[in-house]
């Protein structure tokens, strides 16, 4: 199988603050800080590169020092960004504040991806995008750009995966034609936002999205594991208990792990195990990317967590 993966979405500078004590709202809270390159699609691309899958990235960078820093790192990882948009006045930024146990308390994001990765910009890259078999996008794109890419994937026989990013971003998918989507990867709250129907029943929400055209729904359930649905069956996988240091980027890592398994033809169960394994590695570090991961080490980690 050709390892032809194109990632499209946001690249941000992540500033992560970890409160030393339980956060008190409307008050100053002492904290430690770490900075890294983030954005959902860039987190995914970085892990794919570390796993040897040589992804290409279309993103937005500004005319600032942060863009230079990001470009240098991506060059080291051999992530091509040559077809990206470099016209933004500044590179986007994500700031999160976590409780001492690593769970997210609140985050804010300044991002111009939806403006600069417009339909007209994507149309100008049509011939370039046609060269890839697998398209992975995040919902930082505008609804119009997401719909354009869905139709593009359908008309050109590409596999398209959508990462919803957050509840507010997932809402963009609620009115779209999903015929042409290979997989959507929501958590439980994002699933409700995308379905946007008068039901909280998991099976009803999933069925609604499958009926709207999505081929697979991969529902992430945190400490309860995840479930991969299609119209014919479901596959459920639990996760072992771990101590969480930082929850940032765990879902992004899971998708990269799944794609690694898929591209190595390991089957659905093994791909889910790889996904959970990489996510659990990220949950046990500060930051969204396990920078020391490799294809060999991920396989060993999976064998440690899952013995079957």
pLDDT at 94 over 50: yes
Q: How confident is the model at residue 109 (pLDDT cuts 50, 70, 90)?
A: confident
53 by DSSP, 3-state: which?
A: coil
Model confidence over 117-159: pLDDT tens digits? 999 999 999 999 999 999 999 999 999 999 999 999 999 999 9
| Residues 287 and 249 sit within 8 Å (Cβ to Cβ) | yes
C-alpha–C-alpha distance, residues 12 and 242, integer Å? 28
DSSP 156-173: TT-EEEEE--SHHHHGGG
DSSP 68-126: HHHHHHHHHTT-B-TTSEEEESS-EEEEEEE-TTS-EEEEEEE--HHHHS-HHHHHHTH
Which pLDDT score, from 0 to 100, does residue 168 have? 92
Model confidence over 232-289: pLDDT tens digits? 999 999 999 999 988 888 999 999 999 999 999 999 999 999 999 999 999 999 888 9
Burial 60-85 (b: 16+ CB within 10 A, else e): bbbeeebbeebbeebeebebbbebbb
Side-chain half-sphere CA neighbours of 10 within 13 A: 29
What is the fold of 6-305? 3.40.1190
pLDDT at 34 over 90: no
Q: How confident is the model at residue 29 (pLDDT cuts 50, 70, 90)?
A: very high
pLDDT averaged over every residue in the chain: 94
Q: Which pTM does this prediction carry?
A: 0.90
Model confidence over 171-195: pLDDT tens digits? 999 999 999 999 999 999 999 999 9
Q: How confident is the model at residue 101 (pLDDT cuts 50, 70, 90)?
A: confident
Q: How many CB atoms lie within 10 A of CB 296?
A: 10
Residue 253's closest CA among 217, 298, 196, 209? 298
The domain spans of the chain are 6-305
């Amino acid at each position: 199988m050709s390892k032809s993966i194109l990632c499209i979405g946001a690249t941000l500078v992540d500033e992560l603050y970890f409160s030393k004590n339980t956060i008190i709202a409307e008050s100053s809270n002492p904290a430690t800080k770490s900075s890294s390159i983030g954005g959902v699609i860039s987190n995914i691309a970085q892990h794919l590169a570390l796993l040897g899958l040589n992804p290409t990235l279309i993103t937005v960078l500004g005319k600032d020092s942060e863009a230079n820093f990001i470009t240098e790192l991506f060059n080291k990882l051999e992530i091509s960004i040559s077809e990206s948009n470099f016209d933004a006045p500044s590179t986007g930024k994500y700031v999160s504040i976590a409780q001492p146990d690593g769970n997210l308390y609140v985050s804010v994001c300044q991002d111009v991806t939806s403006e600069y990765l417009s339909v007209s910009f994507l149309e100008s890259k049509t011939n370039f995008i046609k060269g890839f078999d697998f398209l992975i996008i995040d919902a930082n794109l505008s609804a119009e750009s997401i719909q354009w890419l869905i139709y593009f994937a359908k008309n050109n026989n590409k596999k398209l995966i959508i990462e919803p990013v957050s509840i507010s971003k997932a809402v963009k998918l609620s009115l779209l034609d999903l015929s042409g989507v290979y997989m959507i990867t929501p958590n439980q709250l994002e699933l409700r936002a995308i379905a946007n129907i008068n039901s909280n029943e998991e099976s009803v929400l999933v069925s609604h999205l499958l009926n709207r055209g999505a081929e697979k729904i991969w529902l992430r359930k945190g400490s309860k594991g995840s479930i991969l649905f299609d119209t014919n069956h479901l596959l459920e996988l639990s996760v072992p208990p771990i101590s969480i240091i930082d929850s940032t980027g765990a879902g992004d890592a899971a998708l990269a792990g799944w794609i690694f398994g898929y591209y190595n033809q390991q089957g659905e169960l093994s791909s889910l195990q790889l996904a959970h394994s990489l996510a659990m590695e990220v949950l046990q570090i500060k930051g969204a990317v396990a920078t020391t991961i490799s294809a060999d080490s991920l396989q060993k980690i999976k064998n440690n967590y899952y013995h079957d």
